[in-house]
């Protein structure tokens, strides 16, 4: 099987699996991204030479506990009380929990950006490995789930729209960069990325944001102009921070001396290679939603 066919087939399987899980039910979406989290932790642990067993147990437990407390509080309390004949009350201030988790994630995101831009940082310390496991890998997966709920109930259109924007940005950044790219964006980390490709990806992502709002989200007429503005801003966030997320993963791989984070997707690499943009973007999108909620 040639490389192009292999890449096409594995990409099609990935997209089909992703869309099916998102559209089938809330639970299938949460479970799939729980599986993606485990694979991503495994791949990241290989890259930074971290204890895989501890990392996977830590990440899986944190993801499961926060999801159960945030979205299945009553069911979890009832199950535990029935099983252990207890009288537990897991009632939690979800907004405060989210803000604490978001603050941690944003602090680690800043650390990731410093790691990216400072050439002197060519080694990942032990303490940094723990921080990256928490705020660069595990918590962003929680925010991928949380932004899919919008301001209330699970809405698959939000997460599908986000992935469409990421795919649009990546595709057109590649196409524009390949055909018109002359000026390198960040050559020492990713030699193939160009400024022209970055701007091209941003332009087409913004246009995709407009189309998503008008044709897919289809808001009430009174909210239409605001929805277009929101999705255009989301597209710009995706383009800027998605590119940074991609570069950060490239820096980790460059230090480790590897090309791909894994080989689970023939022709594409690992799951981290596929999700490096979305895990860096998700906390920023969640922050944007919180700002919208408080100012509206």
At 87, give phi and psi (nearest 5°).
-135, 55
130-134 contacts, C-beta under 8 A, 24 or more apart: 132/44, 132/48, 132/108, 133/41, 133/44, 133/50, 133/55, 133/58, 133/59, 134/62, 134/104, 134/108
Pick the more confident residue, 131 or 296: 131
Q: Residue 177: pLDDT above 70?
A: yes
pLDDT digits (tens, 9 = 90+) for 195-239: 999 999 999 999 999 999 988 887 777 677 788 999 999 999 999
| Share of residues in the chain with pLDDT > 90 (%) | 67
Predicted pLDDT at 293: 80
Is residue 286 within 8 Å of 147, Cβ to Cβ?
Answer: yes
Residue with tokens 């990409």: 11
Predicted pLDDT at 3: 66
- Averaged over 265-283, what is the pLDDT? 92
Predicted pLDDT at 175: 93
- Averaged over 24-32, what is the pLDDT? 95
Average pLDDT score over the chain: 90
Q: For residue 137, give both structure tokens.
A: 């890998």
Predicted pLDDT at 87: 80
The pLDDT-based confidence of 120 (bands split at 50, 70, 90) is: low
Q: For residue 287, give both structure tokens.
A: 């922050």
Q: Which of these, 199, 204, 177, lies nearest to 190 by C-alpha position?
A: 177
Predicted pLDDT at 223: 73
Q: Which of these, 282, 285, 284, 289, lies nearest to 144 by C-alpha position?
A: 282
Report how far residue 151's alpha carbon sits from residue 169's, in angstroms, rounded to the nearest whole number.
26
Report how far residue 41's alpha carbon sits from residue 138's, in angstroms, rounded to the nearest whole number.
8
Predicted pLDDT at 123: 79
Sign of CA dihedral 190, 196, 199, 204: negative
Report how far residue 287's alpha carbon sits from residue 212's, in angstroms, rounded to the nearest whole number.
20
- Averaged over 102-106, what is the pLDDT? 97
| Share of residues in the chain with pLDDT > 70 (%) | 96
DSSP assignment string, the chain:
--HHHHHHHHHHHHHHHHHHHHHH-HHHHHHHHHHHHHHHHHHHHHHHT--HHHHHHHHHHHHHHHHHHHH-HHHHHHHHHHHHT--------HHHHHHHHHHHHHHHHHHHHHHHH-TT--S--HHHHHHHIIIIIIHHHHHHHHHTTTTSS--HHHHHHHHHHHHHHHHHHHHHHHHH--SEEETTTEEEEEHHHHHHHHHHHHHHHHHIIIIII---GGGHHHHHHHHHHHHHHHHHHHHHHHHHHHHHHHHHT-S-S-SSBTTTB-HHHHHHHHHHHHHHHHHHHHHHHHH-
Q: Residue 151: pLDDT above 70?
A: no
pLDDT digits (tens, 9 = 90+) for 31-67: 999 999 999 999 999 999 999 999 999 999 999 999 9
Q: Residue 8: pLDDT above 90?
A: no
The pLDDT-based confidence of 107 (bands split at 50, 70, 90) is: very high
Q: Residue 162: pLDDT above 70?
A: yes
Predicted pLDDT at 1: 57
pLDDT digits (tens, 9 = 90+) for 252-265: 999 999 998 988 88
């Amino acid at each position: 099987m040639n490389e192009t066919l292999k890449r096409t087939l594995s990409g099609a399987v990935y997209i089909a699996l992703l869309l099916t899980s998102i559209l089938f039910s809330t639970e299938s979406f949460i479970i799939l991204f729980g599986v993606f989290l485990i694979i991503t932790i495994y791949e990241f642990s290989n890259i930074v030479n971290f204890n895989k067993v501890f990392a996977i147990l830590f990440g899986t437990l944190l993801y499961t506990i926060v999801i159960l407390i945030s979205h299945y509080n009553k069911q979890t309390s009832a199950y535990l009380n029935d099983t252990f004949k207890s009288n537990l009350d897991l009632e939690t201030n979800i907004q405060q929990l989210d803000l604490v988790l978001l603050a941690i994630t944003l602090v680690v995101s800043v650390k990731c950006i410093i790691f990216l831009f400072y050439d002197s940082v060519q080694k990942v310390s032990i303490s940094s490995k723990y921080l990256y496991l928490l705020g660069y890998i595990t918590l962003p997966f929680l925010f991928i789930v949380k932004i899919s709920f919008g301001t209330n109930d699970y809405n698959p259109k939000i997460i599908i729209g986000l992935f469409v924007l990421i795919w649009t940005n990546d595709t057109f950044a590649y196409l524009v960069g390949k055909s018109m790219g002359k000026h390198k964006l960040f050559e020492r980390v990713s030699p193939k990325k160009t400024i022209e490709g970055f701007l091209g990806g941003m332009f087409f992502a913004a246009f995709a944001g407009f189309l998503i709002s008008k044709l897919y989200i289809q808001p009430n007429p009174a909210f239409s102009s605001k929805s277009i503005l929101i999705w255009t801003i989301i597209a710009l966030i995706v383009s800027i921070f998605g590119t940074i997320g991609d570069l950060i993963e490239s820096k980790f791989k460059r230090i480790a001396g590897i090309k791909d984070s894994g080989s689970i997707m023939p022709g594409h690499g690992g799951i981290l290679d596929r999700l490096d943009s979305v895990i860096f973007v998700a906390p920023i999108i969640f922050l944007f939603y919180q700002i919208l909620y408080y100012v509206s």
